[in-house]
Structure 1
């Protein structure tokens, strides 16, 4: 077996170990040892990163193949989920982030094209791309989080007898606090990424970037408006959920949509 396959299998073992332990503790309603969960999942992330480094770092530059980016983003989402669970009582949310990381890792390992999208760029461009991916990962987490809050709100408003999401997830107040934590971090990363891009990318509105730029700026305005509305007028609940979903839909349309069309459908770098 080659080295990436060995790392992938070991990462899978670490991910599944942490996931099953957390799931078992949750189902049995027993106290979870956070250190066991974090150490297992972080071990998986380190191995995941080794697989990515082999696939992405080439003698010609960094391979920004779309499936490598999916793998990178899924791993980053799990890392952020672990970090947030270290200071808020939301460790249960790693049950969602871990399968996403596993799926992303396998998509990257199975479908990436080693010689397809090798981009020779300067350090500035690479930093811009990494910051953009980090913003995307955080805001994707915020979107998933907003959907979970919507499920909770729906059960509470309908006064359902069997409240699956209310019983499964942390309190609504905790969930909403984490949502705005995620949006704030994502907004800051997106702000820096856009600012960095304007100063480092020549012909920012060329190179298939015009639509990405427009969608990203509109998304940035929506997230910024939500944060201001939350701070100034106390926006929360369904209004926060709608802003979050619309903002991410535009961001995804500009980034993932165009990336998929250019690489997969049109076969362009």
Structure 2
């Protein structure tokens, strides 16, 4: 049953990729409607697959692969909706490829990490906020990579003006900070709910998550202060964005990766 959902999901992600990538390589316009339709179909099958994987049996199976697949479909949903108003074609190949790889891994390499969130709704709220904050700030890190690529092209005097699918540098920077502000707000609430609702947040095995998440929050705080108070732009903004996302990745997946993937092997 899982493969019957995984195969069409991967197939529709590939169709979306094939509709986007040629437009990035030349000056032809990318048609929004076919890309949006293919992506929506992929996301629907992806969500149905996750429903079976996470809610199979008693409790919820939040293995590292299932969580990674869940994060990837959240990112795919957010960016697919965003494509209707913003030129984010440069990001879509990375996002859809990431989603396809994650859903294939979760279907082919099932793991187990059973929880019972129905008994702890406050923990469910905290986890939901954490997923959305991480997804949003991951999108911001992809924007930072796009910003670095555009900046590199402009510094080497390579004109991008003829390609209507590539957004202007200033537009990308403005969008980047809008996304960071949303992700930063979600991360702030995530940290607050963690300390309020999770009694053993600093217990053994969870301390690194709290510390790394707090350090990441400090990184984004400094980044926002530096941009709006000191006028930071360019490489410094890019590096702060990437470092913040890297710290959150270590916080959310570091120990789980070692326990479930490396030791589990």
TM-score scaled to structure 1, two decimals?
Answer: 0.88
- Who is 1:117 aligned against? 113
**Take 2:21 and 2:242, find their aligned partners in 1: how far apart are those partners?**
28
Write out per-residue CA displacement over residues 157-195 of structure 1, whole angstroms, 9 at most, x where no aligned residue. Answer: 244xx568x967322112212211221121122112112
Aligned equivalents of 2:67 and 2:110: distance in 1?
9
Moved more, 48-57 or 67-76: 67-76
2:91–2:143 CA contact under 8 A, matched in 1? no
Cα distance, 1:262 vs. partner? 2.9
Distance in 2, matches of 1:23 and 1:265, equals: 34
Paired with 1:73 and 1:193, the residues of 2 have a C-alpha distance of 15
Which residue does 2:73 correspond to in 1? 75
CA contact (8 A) 2:90 2:146 kept: no
Structure 1 residues 91 and 7: CA distance shift in structure 2, 3 A: same
- 8 Å Cα contact 2:216/2:248 also seen in 1: yes
Mapped pair 1:97 → 2:61: no
Distance 2:149 2:72 in 1: 23
Contact 1:131–1:190 at 8 Å: present in 2 too?
A: yes
- Compare 57-66 and 45-54 and name the one that shifted more: 57-66
Match of residue 237, structure 1, among 230, 234, 238: 234
Whether the 8 Å contact between 1:70 and 1:107 is mirrored in structure 2 is no
How many residue pairs are counted as aligned between the two chains? 261
Give per-residue Cα distances to partners, 1:121-158, cap 9 Å, x unaligned: 31221221122122212222222221232232223224
- Say if 1:215 and 1:253, in contact at 8 Å, map to a contact too: yes
Distance across 1 between alignment mates of 2:242 and 2:30: 32
Q: What residue ranges of structure 2 are gaps of 5+ in the alignment?
A: none
3-state SS of the aligned residue for 2:91?
helix
Aligned to 1:150: 148
Q: CA deviation at 1:27?
A: 4.2
Does the aligned pair in 1 maintain the 2:87–2:166 contact within 8 Å? no
> Is 1:175 matched up with 2:160?
no
1:196 aligns to 2:196 (yes or no): no
Higher relative contact order (CA 8 A, sep 6+): 2
Q: By how many angstroms is 1:26 displaced?
A: 4.2
After TM superposition, the score normalised by the length of structure 2 is: 0.89
d(CA) in 1 for partners of 2:42, 2:252: 27
2:132 corresponds to which of 106, 127, 134: 134
Supply the distance in 2 between the matched residues of 1:11 and 1:101 (Cα, whole angstroms): 9
Q: CA deviation at 1:7?
A: 1.2
